[in-house]
């Protein structure tokens, strides 16, 4: 592995570490009385304001529209799959089941990404295929994926910690589907337009498509909740760090490493979720969960070495 690629792998690891903590942060906000759609709206509004500040440093990022209406429709699709629908399903899942369950079920995203990539290249041959990895079903990829999935199962089905809500689990799988679809095209759009512009478009369309859900949940939210330090502290972290900084970094990672290799790092999300849950919520990792986390890490390393 070259030095430049190693740096992008480290950046992917750092982003996933932050995103692993967000499950606990969002669970804390829901427990404080916030609505899943409202959490996303505030989080992405903060990120959208921040991304415009970054745009001021480069005139090419100040443009409002992409080069064609087809690209604009792709950004709309990315805003839905990587923005509104992803976070709505994930946040709602956290309202119905524990954070670690959601984190591990979202780990199905790399498998969906692999499947969608293979299927897309088989059925279609347009320019977006250039942004997708040349995936082949060799031992490292298949073996690493199976090992990571085995580790995921060890944690999810650990009898000492098992708390399953069918509704929450299905929503978490829906979030994984959304993220896989987002990963399918985002690498190419970042390569074509740059990380800042592409991320700004995702934030915009994510906010636009969450509006109908905000109207349905407005009556359940009390503005006084925002005055609590634990609430605005978590919202600032989610908006400026986990969304603004991490989305820009992640889009660069996908453009440099490929959509499948980068998405494989999602397998590490639950590991960091478990660690943050132990530190913040006082939960303890069982022996089975520890072994499962080690298997996930080994699986990611193996799958990433396929080339």
**Domain extents in the chain:** 3-129+163-258
Q: What pLDDT sits at residue 209?
A: 95
CA-to-CA separations, 67 to 61, 284, 299, 300, in angstroms, rounded: 12, 51, 39, 36
Please answer whether residues 112 and 51 qualify as being in contact, where contact means their C-beta atoms are separated by less than 8 angstroms.
Answer: no
Cα separation, 307 vs 304, in Å, equals: 8
Average pLDDT for runs of 10 along the chain of length 307: 78 91 90 88 92 82 87 96 94 84 80 82 75 72 81 70 69 92 90 90 95 68 75 93 91 84 80 81 73 79 64
Of the candidates 170, 177, 184, 145, the one whose C-alpha atom is nearest the C-alpha of residue 265 is 145
Q: What pLDDT sits at residue 218?
A: 53
Residues 6+ apart with CB under 8 A from 213: 37, 84, 88
Q: What pLDDT sits at residue 197?
A: 92
Q: What pLDDT sits at residue 182?
A: 93
**Residue 97 phi, psi dihedral angles, 5° rounding:** -150, 175
Region of 258 please: left (phi>0), alpha (psi -120 to 50) or beta. left
Q: What pLDDT sits at residue 236?
A: 94
**Number of residues that this document lists for the chain:** 307
């Amino acid at each position: 592995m070259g030095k430049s690629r190693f740096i992008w792998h480290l950046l992917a690891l750092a982003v996933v570490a932050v995103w692993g903590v967000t499950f606990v942060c969002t669970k804390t906000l829901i427990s404080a009385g916030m609505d899943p759609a409202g959490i996303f709206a505030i989080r992405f509004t903060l990120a959208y304001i921040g991304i415009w500040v970054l745009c001021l440093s480069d005139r090419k990022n100040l443009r409002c529209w992409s080069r064609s209406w087809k690209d604009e429709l792709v950004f709309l699709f990315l805003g839905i799959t990587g923005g509104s629908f992803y976070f709505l399903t994930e946040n709602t899942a956290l309202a119905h089941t524990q954070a670690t369950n959601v984190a591990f079920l979202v780990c199905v995203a790399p498998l969906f990404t692999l499947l969608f990539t293979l299927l897309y290249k088989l059925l279609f041959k347009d320019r977006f295929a250039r942004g997708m990895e040349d995936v082949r079903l060799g031992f490292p990829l298949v073996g690493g994926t199976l090992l990571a999935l085995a580790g995921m199962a060890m944690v999810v089905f650990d009898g000492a910690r098992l708390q399953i809500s069918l509704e929450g689990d299905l929503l978490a799988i829906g979030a994984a589907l959304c993220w896989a679809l987002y990963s399918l095209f985002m690498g190419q759009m970042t390569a074509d337009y740059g990380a800042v512009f592409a991320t700004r478009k995702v934030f915009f369309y994510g906010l636009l498509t969450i509006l109908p859900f905000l109207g349905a949940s407005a009556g359940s939210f009390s503005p006084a909740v925002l005055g609590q330090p634990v609430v605005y502290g978590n919202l600032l972290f989610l908006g400026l760090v986990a969304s603004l900084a991490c989305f820009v970094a992640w889009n660069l990672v996908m453009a440099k490493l490929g959509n499948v290799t980068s998405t494989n790092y999602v397998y590490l999300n639950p590991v960091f979720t478990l660690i943050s849950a132990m530190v913040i919520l006082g939960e303890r990792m069982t022996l089975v969960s520890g072994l499962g986390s080690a298997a996930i890490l080994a699986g990611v390393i193996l799958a990433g070495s396929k080339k």
